[in-house]
Structure 1
Amino acid sequence: MKFNSLLLAATALAASAVQAQSTCNEWSPCFREGYCDSDAMFCLWGLCDEAKSFNSTSCWKPEGCASQLVTFDSSADVIPIRTYSGNPNVNPYLSIFEPDNASIVDGALKLQMNYQAAQNKGFGATADASHTIQYGRVTARVKTASVAPGVVSSFIIRNDQTGDEIDFEWVGKDPSQVQTNYYFNDILDYTKMVAYNVGADTSKDYHDYTIDWSENSIQWLVDGKVIRVVNKADTLDAATGKYLFPTSEARVAFSIWDGGNSGAQGTAEWAGYPTPWGNGVSYQMFVDSVDVKCSGDQGTQTSTDAGEPSNPTSGPEPPVSNLPGGQKCRPRPY
């Protein structure tokens, strides 16, 4: 089941950003989902819509791959995306949502889901890598939140603009099972999902999950054992002559979300439903470490010149600019 983090973040964006139609101004140059602003939530590569931003240099450049082991021993290893200044070597993971339900606890990344009464469902968390990757091997040591039906834990490599994705997902109704899938160009073909029995409750202990992605194949491994292989040559679509195989530069991400109370019947049946909620109930997914080894055709040095978002609180207040339809665009006050 493909997870689209943008849908879950829509309310947070609407509450805090400047509305726009098709263009932004120099003070709020980056366009995302109908709004303009100047921080990483809008300007980060993969989230920012270059075609609708102020100009071709408004969106930050992709950070590139870096071979690194992140063990979540420092509070700087995951920070709210709005506070990110553009240096992926200092802050390897970014918490995407508001409210921020990601934190470092006892040397692990904790992603928590809490109940939202107004929506009658859980509000989870997503942590995106600040570095990008285009082919390589990623091993994550994960303890899932598969303690109740409807709770979904995810480890994915995804490009939100192209819809290319490779994933591991765990659904709460099957705590000993992990599911693997991949997507090309946002084509929602769920028939390619393959499940694997880990042989243990994935919420009780950590296990190593690996995605080994090359130009010609994808391998999924659990605790060092290859459980699935997809070769690019086998994904050729005869009707279009295209290989339905993910190739886009992307980001590693981890997430927890409410599939059981999602409102989509197919998703609820897949995840298990309803998701149990009660007074004080919350669900947690943990990531102990993430080991990235970039493909040999990528350098291991990471670009740190993604750019510093402008600080609209310093200096004189910038002028208000007009947008199509008579709207006004001003940076969001901090």
Structure 2
Amino acid sequence: MVQLLKAAFVGAAVLATAAYAQITMDCGANLGKCPESKPCCSQYGQCGIGAFCLGGCDPKFSNQLESCVAAPICQSKKHTFDGLTRVADKTKYLGDASRYDWVADGNPMNSDDGDLLLTMAAKTVGTVMASTRYVWYGNIKATMKTSRGAGVVSAFIMMSDMKDEIDFEWIGVDLDVTQTNYYFQGIPDYTHGGNISTSATFDEWHTYEVDWTEDSITWKVDGETGRTLKKSDTYNATSKQYDFPQTPSRVQLSLWPGGLATNDIGTINWAGGEIDWTNSADMKDPGYYYVQVKDVVVSCYDPPSGTTKKGSKSYYYSDAAGLQKNVVIGDKSTVLKSFLASGTDMDAAAPSSSAGLEGIETVPGLAGAGTGAGNRATPSGTTGTTEDTEDQGVAAATGKNVFSQGNTNDAAAPANALALRGSMVALLVALVGIVAL
């Protein structure tokens, strides 16, 4: 049973209460690349600097390949979460993976046993944590208990900056089924799903495992193989390439509201209906939905033969095609000087004053799911903290949300407003901003 100080949680949840707004995309397919002034295309299609250029930065649609900061290389490690000392709020993290193992958006907490809780209070958009280091083929295990309830979606996925994706997902009304999926470069092909029979995912600890090599992906539950995908079975005769996840990816753990009333009806139906924010068992006690995570174990595999190696510290791309052969291992820095820096200007410092910089977008949100979750409105929230903000830039220094939230009224949305489709779709869900009280 989860036992926490409810008063403390409610106080934090007030900061995470969502205000729903439609976000206008700036970059991506049919929109083009970001301008030099805001060079980095976030994982959900908005241009900015600072944290926009870190994890999730899309090299295809950023101003230059080099606009995105190089990604910290894989490190084999068992991750536990007691004290959350290795977890950074998104408003603190500048790319130093030696200091932090995870970046969080929302309200991660500890249970009395020291396990990680991903929480979702009433009318919020939940919590997501992404690893700071990337995995380029490896074995990744998460021992966890899912959440439950209509409209409540738990996820453990791998997501690359090129939007290659490997998924475990759970719908809160179907606790004996584990959904699996994969996507190549964010292409919304909905024929890739497969289910694994599982028991009592809310009440019982299970270990969910992805074994990812350059030739296959195996999904396992408690050590038993539930599904295997061979790369050879993904050949696309039209494009003459393999539609197979093949680029360095972050581990993401999340809890998100598929059954939000403002979501597309297809998403709501897939998620098991609208969320009950009042009378469900967990909203009555402890007062929020939650996922429990005991540990995550990452075992890195060797890079493919023939990989271009210019060092040993980071991954980056030699070409926007974003295939395995375009990944370079080198010694490029992964750490920004401030939230006003980018991959092409790593040492840009924060100004002494925020005057005149209110419109600069520096800290995007993370997203709970990926490409296959369905059309849905994009919520934005108030999360995070203003701790440890020295020399980080405007967003952190002022404690204000400088992320552009787009259209906030009932008028017709512009043609490039987000029409979110699928599990990378919550890729496109922005849990944005901190609001200073």
TM-score (norm 2): 0.61
* Contiguous gaps of at least 5 residues in structure 1: 1-7, 15-20, 117-121, 322-326
Measured against aligned partners, the alpha-carbon deviations of 1:2-52 in whole angstroms (never above 9, x if no partner) come to xxxxxx9996999xxxxxx94354xx76554434242x3x22142365854
Alignment counterpart, residue 115 of structure 2, candidates 98, 101, 108? 108
Q: Which residue of 1 aligns with 2:246?
A: 247
Q: Which moved more, 1:273-282 or 1:179-188?
A: 273-282
Q: Give the alignment of 1:1-334 within 5 angstroms.
A: 22-25=34-37, 30=40, 32=42, 33-38=45-50, 40=51, 42-47=52-57, 52=62, 57-95=66-104, 97=105, 100-105=106-111, 106-116=113-123, 122-145=124-147, 147-159=148-160, 161-198=161-198, 200-261=199-260, 263-278=263-278, 280=283, 281-297=287-303, 305-310=333-338, 316-317=352-353, 329=360, 331-332=394-395, 333-334=397-398
Residues 34 and 40, structure 2, Cα contact 8 Å, conserved in 1: no
Measured against aligned partners, the alpha-carbon deviations of 1:69-91 in whole angstroms (never above 9, x if no partner) come to 10112422222111113221321
Residues 58 and 162, structure 2, Cα contact 8 Å, conserved in 1: no
Higher strand fraction (1 or 2): 1
SS in 2 for 1:266: helix
Measured against aligned partners, the alpha-carbon deviations of 1:231-263 in whole angstroms (never above 9, x if no partner) come to 010111233322111112111101111112262
Residues in 2 aligned to 1:102 and 1:218: alpha-carbon distance in whole angstroms: 29
Residue type of the alignment partner of 2:222: D
* Contiguous gaps of at least 5 residues in structure 2: 1-17, 25-32, 315-331, 341-348, 362-393, 399-437
Residues in 2 aligned to 1:245 and 1:56: alpha-carbon distance in whole angstroms: 22
Residues in 2 aligned to 1:238 and 1:201: alpha-carbon distance in whole angstroms: 41
**In the comparison of the two structures, how many residue pairs are matched?**
299
Over 3 Å counting, the alpha-carbon distance change for 1:196 and 1:57 in structure 2 is: closer
Cα RMSD of the aligned pairs, angstroms, is 3.2
Residues in 1 aligned to 2:157 and 2:108: alpha-carbon distance in whole angstroms: 17
Residue type of the alignment partner of 1:226: T
Residue type of the alignment partner of 1:157: M
Q: Which residue of 2 aligns with 1:4?
A: none
Q: Which residue of 1 aligns with 2:385?
A: none
Over 3 Å counting, the alpha-carbon distance change for 1:268 and 1:29 in structure 2 is: closer
Residue type of the alignment partner of 1:72: F
Residues in 1 aligned to 2:354 and 2:268: alpha-carbon distance in whole angstroms: 47
Residues in 2 aligned to 1:202 and 1:13: alpha-carbon distance in whole angstroms: 34
Q: Which residue of 2 aligns with 1:3?
A: none
SS in 1 for 2:91: helix
TM-score (norm 1): 0.78
Percent identity between matched residues is: 32
Residues in 1 aligned to 2:164 and 2:66: alpha-carbon distance in whole angstroms: 24
